[in-house]
Amino acid sequence: MKRIFVVGATSAIAQAAVRRFAARGDRLFLLARNEAKLEAVVQDARARGAEVHSAVADLNAFDLHASLIEDAAQALGGLDVVLIAHGTLSDQKACEESYSDAEQELRTNFLSVVSLLTPLANRLEAQKGGTIAVISSVAGDRGRGSNYLYGTAKGALSIFLQGLRNRLHPAGVRVITIKPGFVDTPMTLEVKKNALFAAPDTVGRGIVRAIDGGREVVYLPAFWRLIMLAVRAVPEPLFKRLKL
Ligand SMILES: NC(=O)c1ccc[n+]([C@@H]2O[C@H](COP(=O)([O-])OP(=O)(O)OC[C@H]3O[C@@H](n4cnc5c(N)ncnc54)[C@H](OP(=O)(O)O)[C@@H]3O)[C@@H](O)[C@H]2O)c1
């Protein structure tokens, strides 16, 4: 039994992981913004047999983060695993026109995670163990004209997690960077679907496997590692001419 704190628990990908945690008897603290959606996820996890605690908060209220983490640790009797899943797919055009839109996207997709991970990392470092898993994105592997605001936030997040992994390794704390490709969730409702889209359940299963196993940078599905290897290998003089 693991004591698992899930941030952004109503995300379709997080829900797929939560269903698996619940079915095997992990103890859960689920945090999300939308009370009605969260209640449905809590009820589903309880029906699968899990002990479930929950809290509602907008994660852009950074001043609440420390007390939410304290509440989760108290309710669960400690923390073994933290999964951070919240995010928004930025409106690239709006971010090009308005810095305040761009800043808002960077706050949600990058800075809110730094704010959460500052006290969380210190807690796990002090207890000398635990696992931090965070959903970043393949979009952070290379900047593209069509979504570089979101890509910037996720790229910065991936670098932050890399540094955190390096810092926390001596304390026995694992830091897992999850990099999904396209996933068919409410976030991509407006995006035209193609054969590369994965189901949230496939990605949720991969996240649980990564938490249970030893991998630290996980592309989901795994073929995205090769796609991104190729994308990163394109020379910049050519890449800048591509419509991506
Ligand atoms: N779908 C993809 O193709 C894809 C690809 C790569 C990475 N990802 C990443 O995967 C993660 C999960 O996304 P998803 O695909 O599962 O999409 P989703 O179902 O739309 O989930 C996004 C979640 O983030 C929550 N959220 C957004 N802003 C928040 C805030 N300020 N405070 C609290 N919660 C907030 C949303 O809450 P509400 O329900 O209240 O809006 C929702 O639960 C995200 O980090 C996303 O960037 C997704």
If one residue of 183, 184, 197, 217 were mutated to test the ligand 1 pocket, choosing by the most ligand atoms within 8 A of its CB, it would be: 183
Q: Whose CA is nearest to atom 22 of ligand 1?
A: 11
In sequence order, which residues have a C-beta less than 8 Å from that of residue 75 and are 6 or more positions away? 29, 53
- From residue 57, give the alpha-carbon distance in Å to each of 18, 30, 32, 63, 120: 18, 11, 6, 11, 17
170-215 residue pLDDT tens: 999 999 999 999 999 999 999 999 999 999 999 999 999 999 998 9
Contact at 8 Å (CB) between 132 and 124? Answer: yes
If one residue of 13, 141, 191, 219 were mutated to test the ligand 1 pocket, choosing by the most ligand atoms within 8 A of its CB, it would be: 13
Helices (H), the chain: 12-23, 35-47, 65-76, 92-97, 99-106, 112-127, 148-168, 200-212, 224-233, 236-239
| Residues annotated catalytic, as ranges | 150
Distance 215 CA to ligand 1 centre (A): 23
CA gyration radius, the chain: 18
Q: Whose CA is nearest to atom 35 of ligand 1?
A: 86
pLDDT score at 188 = 96
DSSP 8-state secondary structure symbol assigned to residue 108: I
pTM, whole model, 2 decimals? Answer: 0.98
DSSP 8-state secondary structure symbol assigned to residue 198: B
Pocket of ligand 1 (CB under 6 A): 8, 10-13, 32-34, 37, 58-60, 85-88, 108, 135, 137, 180, 182-183, 185-188
37-59 residue pLDDT tens: 999 999 999 999 999 999 999 99
**What atom of ligand 1 comes closest to residue 9's alpha carbon?**
43
pLDDT score at 20 = 98
pLDDT score at 243 = 86
Q: Cα(142)–Cα(30) distance, rounded to whole angstroms?
A: 32
Q: Which segments of the chain have a pLDDT < 50?
A: none
